[in-house]
């Protein structure tokens, strides 16, 4: 398993944690990096908001405690993208990623994210402006195209490299698919043929033994894990270990999973404050319970899970989480 070089920045291994809004907060990224992810990427950060010191954008871009900090920016104005990149790098970002793949209606409606797959000239201007604004390497994350009739990733990737991008990530779906169907790893291979910078394959990597097949089908240099890491901060590191040794490793014990869940939960409360943090963090408890249930081979208690997801205070949420986890442990041991 070779390390991944992004210009002068070298990732520890070729297994990356994807940027996910509402998921990859700095507390989660710290845990994933500690447990073996080769590189972890921030939530998507709106460029104008970061450039104008918006509090929410600043928190999304936080990188405290992360050795190689990567910030993903979104936007459609070259000037704001350039200024946001300067802000991010000034605050410690080692790499700046540009979002050209988010399918969300709110983002696409503002002509950002995967809307840029329909305007490649603008996409290239954004890359040129961002890469020209900072010394740190700039990377691009995209989808295959807008829909099945407009697969533009190979062309956009080639133009992105010419514009200064030092790595390309491709999610193997179109915008029209959102997250439906299966990611087409084989379709990503057409991008590899057009670029010389590293290529990262993304989409539907949910088991460690998916990674070799994903790399073989796509020809990519690395893999990126998104939803497969929700509630499983250890999973990117588990995949990296599998690629290194070929051996399967078990999920952490339920006791360790609880400790990680609580560490993450308390980290979110510390980031946003307790009142706002409870709302931000509750979905994570649901994902941690789903992961724990998979480990235990049981279903989580629906009432306790619902209580954790609807609790009004952190104490109530963690108490319900513990009840559900204890029930899983008791039934797994029975």
Which is nearest to 50 in space by CA: 40, 39, 62, 68? 62
Q: Per this entry, what is the length of the chain?
A: 334
Residue 20, helix vs strand vs coil: coil
Residues 191, 217: contact at Cβ < 8 Å?
A: no
Neighbours of 147 (CB within 10 A): 14
The active-site residue out of 93, 102, 224, 292 is 102
Q: Is 102 a catalytic residue?
A: yes
Rg for the chain (alpha carbons), in Å? 20
Token pair 């409606």: residue: 109
Which is nearest to 135 in space by CA: 102, 105, 96, 174? 96
Across 283-295, b (16+ Cβ under 10 Å) vs e yields ebbbbbbbbbbeb
Catalytic residues: 102
């Amino acid at each position: 398993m070779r390390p991944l070089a992004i210009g002068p920045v070298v990732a520890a291994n070729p297994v990356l944690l994807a940027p996910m809004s509402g998921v990859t907060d700095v507390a989660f990224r710290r845990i994933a990096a500690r447990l073996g992810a080769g590189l972890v990427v921030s939530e998507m950060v709106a460029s104008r908001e970061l450039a104008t010191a918006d509090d929410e954008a600043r928190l999304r871009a936080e990188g405290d405690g992360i050795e190689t900090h990567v910030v993903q920016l979104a936007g459609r104005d070259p000037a704001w993208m350039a200024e946001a990149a300067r802000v991010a790098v000034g605050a410690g970002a080692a790499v700046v990623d540009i979002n050209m793949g988010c399918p969300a209606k709110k983002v696409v409606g503002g002509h950002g994210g995967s809307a840029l797959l329909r305007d490649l000239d603008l996409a290239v201007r954004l890359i040129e402006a961002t890469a020209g604004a900072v010394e740190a390497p700039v990377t691009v994350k995209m989808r295959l195209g807008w829909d099945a009739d407009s697969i533009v990733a190979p062309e956009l990737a080639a133009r992105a490299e010419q514009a200064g991008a030092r790595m390309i990530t491709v999610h193997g779906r179109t915008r029209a698919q959102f997250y439906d169907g299966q990611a087409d790893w084989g379709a990503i291979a057409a991008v590899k043929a057009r670029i010389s910078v590293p290529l990262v394959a993304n989409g539907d990597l949910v088991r460690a033994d998916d990674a070799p097949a994903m790399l073989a089908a796509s020809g990519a240099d690395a893999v990126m894990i998104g939803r497969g890491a929700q509630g499983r901060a250890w999973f990117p590191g588990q995949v990296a270990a599998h690629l290194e040794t070929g051996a399967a490793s078990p999920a952490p014990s339920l006791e360790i999973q609880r400790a990680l869940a609580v560490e993450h939960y308390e980290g979110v409360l510390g980031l946003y404050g307790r009142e706002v943090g409870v709302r931000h963090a509750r979905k994570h408890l649901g994902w941690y319970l789903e992961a724990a249930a998979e480990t235990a081979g049981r279903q989580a208690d629906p009432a306790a899970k619902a209580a954790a997801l609807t609790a009004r205070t952190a104490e109530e949420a963690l108490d319900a989480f513990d009840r559900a986890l204890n029930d899983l442990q008791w039934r797994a041991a029975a």
